[in-house]
Amino acid sequence: MAKKKSTKFVCQSCGYESPKWMGRCPNCGSWNEMMEEMVVDKDDRRSRVSMTGTVAKAQLVQDVTISNETRVKTKLGELNRVLGGGVVPGSLVLIGGDPGIGKSTLLLQVSAQLNMTGGKVLYVTGEESATQIKLRATRLGVDGEKFYIYPETDMSAIRKTIEEIRPEYVIIDSIQTMNQPDITSAAGSVSQVRENTSELMKIAKTNNIAIFIVGHVTKEGALAGPRMLEHMVDTVLYFEGDRHQSFRILRAVKNRFGSTNEIGIFEMRESGLQEVLNPSEMFLEERLTGANGSSVVAAMEGTRPILVEIQALLTPTAFGNAKRTASGLDHNRVSLIMAVLEKRANLLLQNQDAYLKAAGGVRLDEPAIDLAIAISIASSYKERGTQATDCFIGEIGLTGEIRRVSHIEQRVKEAAKLGFERIFIPKNNIGGWTLPKEITVVGVETISEALKKALGD
């Protein structure tokens, strides 16, 4: 019996399907995004069948056995941290980032390290030839006995190769280049990305294969394709950084096997990506001593405290409305803190243009950075530099009070380890833990008190 073909219109922004064309998608509101696709109707109600022929079936919860398989650790400790402790067998990991940021380089290094642990690796590339991958592998010093390179975009051929080789790890670079022969739409379309990811998910879960998927991003910085792509995978990682600078940040925004607050920091070198073991020192290495508008905060990224310099520059505005610009900081948080300073600390900031940034390209969004932002703003406004050995931690309330923050002990220890001599913390955080002897802990209750002690008002 011949297979029936059906026509449907799919929104290329959100994946909404309609039997007829519409100028505007009723789901996301995008215009002229409904594209016609010819789909071959087939019986896709298949059970999950592994390569050994085992078919999934319903079981009582007490009859389900838990294997003692441990996470596989790579030599990149920063990657292990972001993944939650290492690579989980049977997991589906999506890595997104700007072009040229280093996604393929990272996965090529990880592939070689996983191969050294005894696992068989299949690197599927749809964007480069085997010769190009070999040239990069030679430059990075990557080699292995069970490391396969497969330049292919046909998903059915990729599945057959996986069944023949039976690897423990599979790299797909990238998901937007893969295509299903039964779907007539172009590679990278919503239907293609959805079906290919669904196929890879079945392979990973039924055969206990860890699969890494490279995903393209749009010009807005979001992962290309339907939002369903992020829901289907186990872990979503974003590779961030300026391609003109050497430092890269790997951030988890979804992780079923670990925390979503962890970040990993790498440095791009000629020999590949090298992990940065002491990111606090990296963020502070170019700080000017005694500069106005500078302060240091001990921020938490997951379980790791990181010391970051916050810079502020205030200049008299030349127009009626003062300008507020923030890089690496929440714009609304900056506006709120400036309002509190004007009302509770008697600083006339309404006629000042304010430019703030978190140095080093890191992004901070936790409440504990409020006090450091306020000190930087006041330091620039009064043209008084803070002491180079001072660190600031605390959340600021609308009434001007300094509120307690979490993980205070780890933050203070990190500041003491890097040689800071004085740290300002909320007064309510003092007590219940042992204060370190190598750093002076100053408890403050209000923003006015903090400004007086920090800037000598």
Is residue 33 located within the same domain as residue 129? no
Is 98 marked as a binding-site residue?
A: yes
Cα angle for residues 122, 190, 46 (degrees, 5° grid): 65
Element (H, E) at 417: helix 408-417
Note whether residue 186 is domain-resident.
yes
Is 167 known to sit in a ligand binding site?
Answer: no
Domain match, 367 and 391 both: yes
65 falls within a domain: no
Instruction: Flag whether 57 is marked binding.
Output: no
Domain of residue 24, residue span? 5-40
Give me the CATH number covering residue 149: 3.40.50.300
Same domain flag for 271 and 309? no
pLDDT at 263 (0 to 100): 85
412 and 389: one domain?
yes
Same domain? 366 vs 447: yes
Residue 268 domain-assigned?
A: yes
Look at residue 434 and tell me if it is in a domain: yes
pLDDT value of position 52: 53
Q: Looking at the structure, do residues 297 and 422 belong to the same domain, yes or no?
A: yes
Is 104 known as a binding-site position? yes
pLDDT of residue 2: 47
Beta 272-275 vs 263-269: how paired, if at all? antiparallel
CATH number at residue 303: 3.30.230.10
What is d(CA 12, CA 199) in angstroms, rounded to the nearest whole number? 20
Cβ atoms of 429 and 326 closer than 8 Å = no
Same domain, 211 and 259: yes
In a domain, 178, yes or no: yes
45 within a domain of the structure (yes/no): no
Determine contact, residues 170/212, Cβ cutoff 8 Å.
yes
The two three-digit tokens of residue 265, written as one number: 């920091």
Last residue in a domain, options 277, 296, 313 = 277
Strand order of the β-sheet with 169-173 is 147-151, 121-125, 169-173, 210-215, 92-97, 235-240, 247-255, 263-269, 272-275
Q: What is the spatial distance between Cα 262 and Cα 300, in angstroms, rounded to a whole number? A: 9
Block residue for tokens 């280049």:
177
Which of 140, 172, 143 shows the shortest CA–CA distance to 155? 172
Q: What pLDDT score was predicted for residue 53?
A: 56
Do residues 158 and 237 both lie within one domain? yes
pLDDT in tens, the chain (457 residues): 445 557 788 887 777 888 889 999 998 888 888 887 766 555 444 445 555 556 667 888 888 777 666 889 999 999 999 999 999 999 999 999 888 888 999 999 999 999 988 889 999 999 899 999 999 988 888 877 889 999 999 999 999 999 999 999 999 998 999 998 888 778 888 888 888 999 999 999 999 999 999 998 887 777 877 777 888 999 999 998 866 678 888 989 899 998 887 888 898 888 889 998 888 888 888 888 878 999 999 999 877 899 999 999 999 998 778 999 999 999 999 999 999 999 999 999 999 999 999 988 788 989 999 999 999 999 999 999 999 999 999 999 999 999 999 999 999 999 998 999 999 999 999 988 888 889 999 999 999 999 999 998 6
Tell me if 61 is assigned to some domain. no
240, 327: one domain: no
d(CA 174, CA 396) in angstroms, rounded, equals: 44
Structural domain tally of the chain?
Answer: 3
Kindly state whether residues 199 and 348 are assigned to the same domain. Answer: no
* Chosen domain end from 222, 256, 277: 277
Residue 100 marked in a binding site: yes
Q: Is residue 49 part of a domain?
A: no
Residues 268 and 317 occupy one common structural domain: no
Determine if residue 99 is labeled as part of a ligand binding site.
Answer: yes
Residues 190 and 205 in one domain: yes
Given 233, 259, 277, the domain boundary residue is 277
